[in-house]
Amino acid sequence: MGKYKKDMHWLRFENHLPRLFLHEKREKLVRWALRALTTIGIITSVITLGWHYSLSLSVGLVVFDAFLERTLFYYTSMYVQAMPDFEYDPDKWVANAFVSHGHPTDQNSKRIIGLVFTEEQYARKFFELLRAWNHGDSDNKDGNICISFITDEDMYYVYLYPSFDKASIKSMHKKVENENKLKKYGKEHFGIVMTMVICKGFSTAHGYALGTFVDNHPVGKSFLLGPFIQTQEGPPQPIYDIEPIRMYQYKARIPSELSEDDFEYQHWRMLVNRTAVGADT
């Protein structure tokens, strides 16, 4: 699954010494602050103060000047993951089907996770978006498409999002760094990723087939993620005209098992709203 960095701190400690970490747009401000300190030092040198006041002020100015001189500036670039070319409507994703070709508790059974939609055309566009996150490939062997299941009491939430650790992201960031080695010498590159995250909540009131899937399908073993269509009568049916995506990894947790390194942890704390069945974020 993709790695996620939630933020960055403006103050770092290197060899137990504090160091400012600021965007390059703050560079002029820091330079002016240094000039102001120099000016203050000159002015105070001609003002008659008690020796202990002068000493304290001088030491303070030297320390603060050294602190500002150590400021590390960073510059940013942005990688934008594929976005939908259709109107996203969470109400058209109504359920999930967990299908086992073989006994549900047999770990050798072939399994499909079906996303159940109300419209075939919407399902087609939805799966085109997922494939776009994997550069058009239907085999997610590199883990570019992430799927997670977070269960909380009478609800479980399905997360779908592109990995934050894709090779294409690393390549783009490396290219930016190489292009700016001289222009931005001494500055640190901080890559930003813009992405869409899909999160949909489903009730467990009518069953919890997800639990059977998680208990019997090891992480790392392949399964299919496929589109299904809701029918007026009977169970949902697969949409054979839309190619499924072969998946290998998934994450299944309860909220207390999430760590700060998990994207879902941040999203859960800030955005998940459990006010209604099928709540979306």
pLDDT above 70 (res 16): no
Q: Residues 128, 230: contact at Cβ < 8 Å?
A: no
Whether residue 189 is contained in a domain is answered as no
Percent of the chain with pLDDT over 70: 72
In a domain, 184, yes or no: no
If residue 211 lies in a helix (H) or strand (E), which one and from where to where?
helix 209-216
In this prediction, residues 200-208 reach a mean pLDDT of 89
For residues 94 and 54, state if they share a domain.
no
Burial degree of 101 (CB within 10 A; 0-12, 13-18, 19+):
exposed
- Of residues 4 and 70, more confidently modeled: 70
In a domain, 5, yes or no: no
Same domain, 58 and 153: no
On whether the CB atoms of residues 242 and 169 are closer than 8 A, the answer is no
- 171: in domain: no
Q: Are residues 66 and 92 in the same domain?
A: no
- Output the CA angle 87-93-109, nearest 5 degrees: 135
Of the three residues 49, 70, 91, the one that is the final residue of a domain is: 70
Q: CA–CA separation, 137 vs 46, rounded Å?
A: 73
What end-to-end distance do the CA atoms of the chain give, in Å?
21
Domain closes at, from 21, 42, 70 = 70
Residues 120, 236, single domain; the answer is: yes
Average per-residue pLDDT for the chain = 82
Domain with 92, as residue range(s), is 80-164+195-270
Residue type, 97: A
How many structural domains comprise the chain? 2
Q: Are residues 144 and 109 in the same domain?
A: yes
Q: Are 211 and 148 part of one and the same domain?
A: yes
pLDDT above 90 coverage of the chain, percent: 47
Q: Residue 254 falls within a domain, yes or no? A: yes
In contact, 77 and 189? CB cutoff 8 Å: yes
On whether residue 134 sits in a domain, the answer given is yes
Residue 118 tokens, joined: 């109300």
- Tens digit of each residue's pLDDT (9 = 90 or more) over 208-230: 999 999 999 999 999 999 999 99
Q: Let me know whether 40 and 131 are in one domain.
A: no
Supply the angle between the helices 51-69 and 27-45 in degrees, to the nearest 10: 160
265 and 128 in a common domain = yes
* 15: region left, alpha or beta (phi > 0 left; psi from -120 to 50 alpha): left
CA angle 150, 239, 126 (to 5 degrees): 55
Residue 46 shares a structural domain with residue 149:
no
Is residue 279 one of the residues assigned to a domain? no
Model confidence pLDDT, tens digit, residues 91-112: 999 999 999 988 878 878 899 9
Residues 139 and 223 in one domain: yes
Choose among 242, 195, 180: nearest CA to 84: 195
155 and 29 belong to one structural domain: no
Look at residue 277 in the predicted model and tell me its pLDDT.
40
Taking the complete model, does pTM exceed 0.85, yes or no? Answer: no
Any domain includes 280: no
Q: Is residue 18 domain-shared with residue 148, that is, in the same domain?
A: no
